[in-house]
A and B are shown apart, each in its own frame.
Chain A
């Protein structure tokens, strides 16, 4: 990837960071309700993988920490924020919320709130791709703690058995809510756990965009070429608690400082500065521009949008006027 391209990625990653930080504020301001799970610290994972894939063409599915994956898949950030603000203009029409961002037009197949739930759904999407005969792949992003669900093993087994075009990306941020991985999981290296299913796998530094991009390029190529599933583990860290209701008291300050010293944005920024592609001033201007954009466009759009009409509360439960309900009678 050329440096000019990386500069574009850096801007997108910075936008994602500022977007999530603004979500935090909006939550405190009570414009966002429910549970809110934020992504700062982990940006190189979604960006490195999706830069190596074809968002909008490939299918993406993930957990409840889903805003950034949707935006990188092509969702309009204004409509993602409107969803968080519970507005009719939101990607899921205000019915989903933070944990259920859906944007099927961009093949973002949703955020799901049951830990490990998307594993089999991703295999199923891959089965659909296989039946249609296209060259798309399905990319499933989940955290390390999801790997202790039965769906992890069941889905890896079926994906390997039926040679399904699915790339499982494990964003290993070392914690399942407040429980550190070594206290919940017998095998710490997640990429080793898939060897029991004959699935090729790799572990990579999830803070370095270049490394993620390189590892993901190899993974995507493998899956797209019809060789079946692949598992990519990315070592990363979330700066905030699991969700807004998490006091985040269980992590040592020393550990947090170590990881903030490995910030994915700073690593990429400094590399581009060193290469002469970017100056510190440019980066600062970029940041100001993004903050303005988020305030003037994203937040304004979400604020000004209408809420869904209460009269439509029963819409979307079942298909409307499905003739087969009446035995095929129109």
Chain B
């Protein structure tokens, strides 16, 4: 099992799927000749040509709609939106067409497109390049939403998403493209539905997804060392549909839950997981669940302000200490 970077894992999935099926294409801004802002399509332009690795104009709604229309005829586009902030411009086609066409056509048409985009906040990119939009995508019926927290998931989720007949939004992270991790040498398809236990524990469940899984893992180590609290970390790599069974199983075991999200709290992953806990296993709880979220503000440029706006592993430790009164 080789250790490769997150971007290399995404590139490998592209390459294998494009080699496997001539109808798989990649599209997006600067993905061809340049090889992608985060290198995720490096070398594919030379290998598969400009008709299959398509440098698009800066027309997010237009090229996303074009990919969706092509998918009606059996083309399987992997659309890269350079930054999730730009995905707002493509919302019309993603929500109004891709997510709804199967339903409103009575099952005659489907839009098997993959839309990949780095979400999350990087370093000092300012308000308009720091959006976290996973909460927006996961509220839409007809769209699958997954978010890889490591290279293995980044590879396997993209592989499955390309072959799945539903539209899939893959929420990546600008700060994770250079993260290293083990990826199976053999071809591997990650399930598009479910969650993973990233760390076993008995005292409290920390729910994370994408980058916040790593904050949870750091916090768990510190809680173990400082307080003897053994936290279980659940990696919610599927945000839509959320894994109700996985949530229920872990909370039924630890009886406590903290949800850690990089986004603002309102109408977010934390709120949704709490609602699921209420519906699935309320009477298993020994304490009211907590969420650790960003401040509800546009992300500032100043480094100290930016840091203050976002949660981190220390905030997760604090939340658990508050819950346990230690």
Which A residues form the contact surface with B (CB < 8 A)?
61, 90-96, 100, 102-105, 109-110, 112-114, 117, 119-132, 150-151, 154-155, 157-158, 161-162, 315-319, 322, 324-329
Of B62, B72, B96, B142, the contact of A154 (CB 8 Å cutoff): B62
**A-B contacts at CB below 8 angstroms, number:** 179
Output the least CB separation between B192 and chain A (Å). Answer: 5
Residues of A within 8 Å of B97, CB to CB, are 112, 117, 121
Of A92, A158, A326, the contact of B62 (CB 8 Å cutoff): A158
Whether a CB of chain A sits under 8 angstroms from the CB of B164 is: yes
Output the least CB separation between B69 and chain A (Å). Answer: 2
Whether a CB of chain A sits under 8 angstroms from the CB of B226 is: no
Q: Name the residue among A155, A162, A318 with the largest chain B CB count within 10 angstroms.
A: A318
Do B61 and A154 touch across chains, with their CB atoms under 8 A apart? Answer: yes
Whether a CB of chain A sits under 8 angstroms from the CB of B124 is: no
Of A91, A315, A327, the contact of B189 (CB 8 Å cutoff): A327
In the complex, what distance in Å separates the CA atom of A109 from the CA atom of B70? 12
Of A96, A129, A150, A318, the contact of B105 (CB 8 Å cutoff): A96
Do A120 and B64 touch across chains, with their CB atoms under 8 A apart? Answer: yes
In the complex, what distance in Å separates the CA atom of A26 from the CA atom of B82? 49
Given contacts A151-B62, A326-B191, A326-B193, contact A161 B70 (CB under 8 A): no
Residues of B within 8 Å of A96, CB to CB, are 104-106
Do A318 and B106 touch across chains, with their CB atoms under 8 A apart? Answer: no
Whether a CB of chain A sits under 8 angstroms from the CB of B66 is: yes
Do B65 and A127 touch across chains, with their CB atoms under 8 A apart? Answer: no
In the complex, what distance in Å separates the CA atom of A93 from the CA atom of B59? 34
Whether a CB of chain A sits under 8 angstroms from the CB of B214 is: no
Do A90 and B163 touch across chains, with their CB atoms under 8 A apart? Answer: no
Given contacts A324-B164, A324-B189, contact A120 B69 (CB under 8 A): yes
In the complex, what distance in Å separates the CA atom of A150 from the CA atom of B62? 8
In the complex, what distance in Å separates the CA atom of A104 from the CA atom of B110? 11
Which residues of B in the span 2-57 have a Cβ within 8 Å of any Cβ on A? 22-23, 25, 51, 54, 56-57
Chosen A-B contacts, 14 in total, with CB atoms closer than 8 Å, are A104-B105, A105-B108, A120-B61, A122-B69, A123-B62, A125-B72, A132-B74, A154-B63, A158-B66, A161-B57, A318-B142, A324-B161, A325-B160, A327-B188
Whether a CB of chain A sits under 8 angstroms from the CB of B156 is: yes
Residues of B within 8 Å of A93, CB to CB, are 106-107
Binary contact readout B88-103 vs A (1 if CB under 8 angstroms, 0 otherwise) = 0000110011000111
Instruction: Given contact pairs A150-B59, A317-B103, enumerate 8 new A-B contacts (beta carbons under 8 Å).
Output: A92-B108, A120-B69, A124-B71, A131-B22, A319-B166, A324-B164, A326-B192, A327-B156
What are the 9 tightest A-B residue pairs by CB atom distance, in nearest-first order?
A: A124-B69, A154-B62, A120-B65, A128-B73, A93-B106, A121-B69, A154-B59, A102-B105, A124-B70
Whether a CB of chain A sits under 8 angstroms from the CB of B319 is: no
Of B69, B104, B161, the contact of A95 (CB 8 Å cutoff): B104
Do A110 and B106 touch across chains, with their CB atoms under 8 A apart? Answer: no
Residues of B within 8 Å of A109, CB to CB, are 72, 109
Residues of A within 8 Å of B193, CB to CB, are 325-326
In the complex, what distance in Å separates the CA atom of A121 from the CA atom of B109? 13
Q: Name the residue among A103, A117, A328 with the largest chain B CB count within 10 angstroms.
A: A328
In the complex, what distance in Å separates the CA atom of A128 from the CA atom of B63? 14
Do A121 and B106 touch across chains, with their CB atoms under 8 A apart? Answer: no
Do B72 and A121 touch across chains, with their CB atoms under 8 A apart? Answer: yes
Output the least CB separation between B273 and chain A (Å). Answer: 21
Do B104 and A125 touch across chains, with their CB atoms under 8 A apart? Answer: no
Output the least CB separation between B126 and chain A (Å). Answer: 24
Output the least CB separation between A257 and chain B (Å). Answer: 38
Whether a CB of chain A sits under 8 angstroms from the CB of B68 is: yes
In the complex, what distance in Å separates the CA atom of A127 from the CA atom of B64? 13
Whether a CB of chain A sits under 8 angstroms from the CB of B141 is: yes
